[in-house]
Structure 1
Amino acid sequence: MKKLIFGILTFCVFSSFAQKKQLDELTFDDCQNSAFFQKVKNNTNVLRYTAADGSLLEIGDTLVIGVPSGSITATTAVGAGNTVGVAKARSRTKSSFTTIIMGRPVGFGSIMNAMAGEAPENAGANMQGEIVVISEMKVSHKGSRKKPLALTILLGEPNGRAFGINKYMSVVDYEKSVLGGEIRSLNAPMTRDEAISKLKESKELLDLGLMEQSEYDKIKQELTPVIMEQ
């Protein structure tokens, strides 16, 4: 009995210590550097993260939910008239996010779903365009300790309310989510395609006489390095 009590107390102390794991600064390159990531424990909190695209993420920053890149097909059986024992299968496919789920990634609801053999609920297409706030950031290995780190972000509503019945949403792998167009940072550097699009738009305004030549030249000077370097 004493051993059991000691074991429980040790676990509680360890859990309390584990909750204090924290990195003030982290970069995408750190997450890929084996000399660094092998020293990092799973579920380590991160206060400031520099992403692969150069954008800086901090607790309290706002992000924008992008476009869902996946789909879910649900099949239900429906009766065929009044014929007893005869039914037809009806399938319905709807868009959903592949890297954004409802709730916490390791929350109580997710644990109960896992025990029931169910996968976490993916965010639906209705979340597209939502403005969300970074409530928490953590990193964990993509498998064993020898695997790189993935950044998980807990998302909250700007007004502190819930997303329907869920208090939070979660991005299970931020970098994958960005690559898939499912989420973006408001302070992310302009991409080459965005720079080209803006330059074309500015040229059209110049040709229509709605922009001064000096203003166009300034925009072109700013955008040219972005277009040429990527």
Structure 2
Amino acid sequence: MKKIFLTILAFSSFTLFSQKKYIESMSFEQSQDISFFINVKNNTKLGEYITASGNSVKLGDTLIIGNPTSSYATSNTYGGGNKITFGRTKTRFSKEFEFIKLGRPAGIGAAMSGADTPMAGINLSKEVVLVKEMKTYHKGSKKKPLNVQIILGEINGRAFGINKYLSVMNTELAIESREIFLKNRKITREEAIVKLKEAKELLDLEMMSQEEYDAIKKELSPIIMNKK
């Protein structure tokens, strides 16, 4: 009898979690762990996301939009007329973001009809934005890992042109490609090494005191030694 009760309790807990539409905090590791993501439905809201590099993104956080990582070309030919003659072709290259879209993510119906929103353009570089909403989606079926999407709002509540919001379609790739920057992100080991080398050069040039160098070394050493 006790065994049956425990089985029912475990099943009830599993069902409750499966139907949960809000996760207070989720890490990148959890998003890739099948024992975790198998129980998470698409469109589940997040309160906090811990990235692969250990940085935290929370609702209300301030982010900075970086630079676009993709581009496209449009060409027009002038002076050809209706005859078979040589005209002048003018090609224009435009940059756009690969992971940031204008507006909210398109719903299933809109995506199937092809009525998708365009990607954000270079004019939005350096914009300071707020994290308004975070959601998780499976990268395909329920047995595939989770992807985190972020809805961004203008810091003063205004719109980005005709769009009230921007959508980061893949948070990890957007951060990795530097299309978005976290204002309070942790420095990486590689960045710490570069910073320490620069400090050593300044010390050798007598443009930095030994005390200043020692303070920087003390701060960066745990990161370089992978102890932080």
TM-score (norm 2): 0.81
Runs of at least 5 residues in structure 2 that lack an aligned partner in the other structure: 1-18
User: Equivalent residue for 1:35?
Assistant: 35
- Write the mapping of 1:50-65 to structure 2, written as runs, cut at 5 A: 50-65=50-65
The one-letter code of the counterpart of 1:46 is L
User: Equivalent residue for 1:93?
Assistant: 93
Question: Aligned-pair distance for 1:73?
Answer: 1.9
Question: Aligned-pair distance for 1:224?
Answer: 1.9
Q: CA offsets, 1:11-68, max 9 Å, x none? A: xxxxxxxx98211111111110101101111001001111111111111001111222
The one-letter code of the counterpart of 1:60 is G
Question: Aligned-pair distance for 1:153?
Answer: 0.1
Indicate the SS of the match to 2:225.
helix
Question: Aligned-pair distance for 1:180?
Answer: 1.5
The one-letter code of the counterpart of 2:187 is M
Question: Aligned-pair distance for 1:144?
Answer: 0.5
CA distance in 1, matches of 2:225, 2:63: 27
User: Equivalent residue for 2:146?
Assistant: 149
TM-score (norm 1): 0.80
The one-letter code of the counterpart of 1:150 is N
User: Equivalent residue for 1:187?
Assistant: 184
8 Å contact from structure 2 (residues 71, 94) kept in 1? yes
User: Equivalent residue for 1:7?
Assistant: none
The size of the alignment, in residue pairs, is 207
Give RMSD over aligned pairs: 2.6
Question: Aligned-pair distance for 1:136?
Answer: 0.3
User: Equivalent residue for 1:102?
Assistant: 102
Which of 140, 152, 159 pairs up with 2:156? 159
Identity %: 46
Question: Aligned-pair distance for 1:80?
Answer: 1.0
The one-letter code of the counterpart of 2:79 is A
CA distance in 2, matches of 1:85, 1:160: 54
- Write the mapping of 1:76-225 to structure 2, written as runs, cut at 5 A: 76=76, 78-80=77-79, 83-84=81-82, 90-106=90-106, 111=110, 115=113, 117=114, 119-225=116-222
